[in-house]
């Protein structure tokens, strides 16, 4: 697979990564053995960026990833995140500098490794200046526990404050054909800071694959509460998905592959991390890295699936920019 470099001095990684959250939460129950097989299949298909977080399943996800990559650690650009703490008393943010090392060391134990290639602040703690948190993260780089630093769901001001303390290799945020609000602020700010762009939910939480489950979402599937999937907005969004499917068919690819190719065409600094619990789908996603779209293709796609046609705001915990701006 084509390789890209995240940020001015960040890690070299596959053009497409694998987001692992769904193996532990958000989309209902998952089978650990199947999940581990999907991760290994991703490596077999040339996907090297494996993205997890300490909050996913309250540590379960990191343990699962660690087991799946055992014996293949040198093939992986391993990314994890801290700052969202889930417990019996609910979910909170914690970016206190004195806690950063402990969170990192706990992640290292669960992952079964001695270093993290890309360590993200998952969300900025509103009670702690982001520069202070990043300063503690920089100490982990100096200690050899972490190779590169990243930020997730930050606004441009927070990114600037963080980058003044230590180079930021990657900024992670939701970005897809169906959610383009980050193009107004986060994308240009990240490029000014020399950070790579790592879109999560690049398939619109499954919407852009054209294969949503029939009937209501299952218990535990967080799309049940996402406005984009509500009865009020879903019909209009599905009409756009049908238009996407028509364009994809003309290219001889699936709607999901075309959606990923669209993101990859937005610049050499873009590395989307689609998640999947399907071994077939991970192969399909990996193949999208080989699709090349010309400027005329992008213009035709924008005409068929216009940004202003999508309906509904997004739901994401403590995230920047959850309301549509156009």
- Tell me which residues are annotated as active site: 56
Closest CA to 47 of 85, 89, 76, 7: 76
Alpha carbons 259 and 274: distance in angstroms, whole number: 11
State CA 306 to chain mean position distance.
Answer: 23
3-class DSSP assignment, residue 221:
strand
Give the closest residue to 195 by CA, choosing from 116, 120, 269, 260. Answer: 269
Helix intervals (H) in the chain? 32-44, 60-68, 97-111, 130-142, 156-163, 186-192, 234-251, 255-264, 279-287, 295-304
Q: Is 29 exposed, middle or buried (0-12, 13-18, 19+ CB in 10 A)?
A: exposed
Chain position carrying tokens 């999560």: 200
CA-CA-CA-CA torsion sign (210, 216, 221, 225): positive
Question: What one-character-per-residue DSSP string does 140-189 give?
Answer: HHHTTSEEEEEEES--HHHHHHHHTTS---EEEEE-BTTB-GGGGTHHHH
User: How far is residue 130's CA from residue 90's CA, in Å, rounded to a whole number?
Assistant: 23
Task: Name the CA radius of gyration of the chain, rounded.
Answer: 19
Residue-level length of the chain: 326
């Amino acid at each position: 697979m084509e390789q890209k470099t995240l940020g001015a001095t960040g890690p070299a990684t596959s053009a497409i990564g694998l987001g692992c959250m769904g193996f532990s939460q958000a989309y209902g129950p998952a089978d650990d053995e199947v999940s581990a097989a999907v991760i290994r299949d991703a490596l077999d298909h040339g996907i090297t960026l494996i993205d997890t977080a300490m909050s996913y399943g309250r540590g379960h996800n990191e343990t699962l990833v660690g087991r799946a990559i055992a014996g293949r650690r040198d093939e992986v650009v391993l990314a994890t995140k801290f700052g969202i703490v889930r417990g019996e008393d609910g979910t909170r943010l914690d970016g206190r500098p004195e806690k950063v090392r402990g969170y990192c060391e706990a992640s290292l134990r669960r992952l079964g490794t001695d270093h993290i290639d890309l360590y993200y602040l998952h969300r900025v703690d509103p009670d702690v200046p982001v520069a202070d948190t990043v300063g503690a993260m920089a100490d982990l780089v100096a200690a050899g526990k972490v190779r590169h630093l990243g930020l997730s769901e930050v606004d441009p001001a927070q990114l600037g404050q963080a980058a003044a303390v230590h180079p930021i290799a990657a900024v992670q945020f939701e970005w897809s054909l169906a959610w383009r609000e980050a193009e107004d602020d986060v994308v240009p700010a990240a490029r000014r800071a020399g950070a790579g762009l790592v879109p999560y939910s690049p398939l619109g939480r499954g919407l852009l694959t054209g294969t949503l489950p029939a009937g209501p979402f299952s218990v535990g599937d967080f799309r049940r509460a996402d406005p984009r999937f509500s009865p009020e907005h879903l019909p209009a969004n599905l009409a756009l998905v049908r238009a996407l499917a028509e364009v994809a068919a003309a290219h001889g690819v699936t709607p999901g592959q075309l959606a990923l190719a669209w993101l990859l065409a937005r610049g050499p600094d873009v590395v989307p991390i689609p998640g999947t619990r399907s071994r077939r789908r991970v192969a399909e996603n990996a193949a999208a890295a080989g699709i090349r779209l010309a400027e005329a293709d992008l213009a035709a796609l924008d005409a068929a699936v216009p940004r202003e046609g999508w309906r509904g705001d997004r739901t994401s915990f403590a995230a920047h920019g959850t309301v549509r701006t156009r």
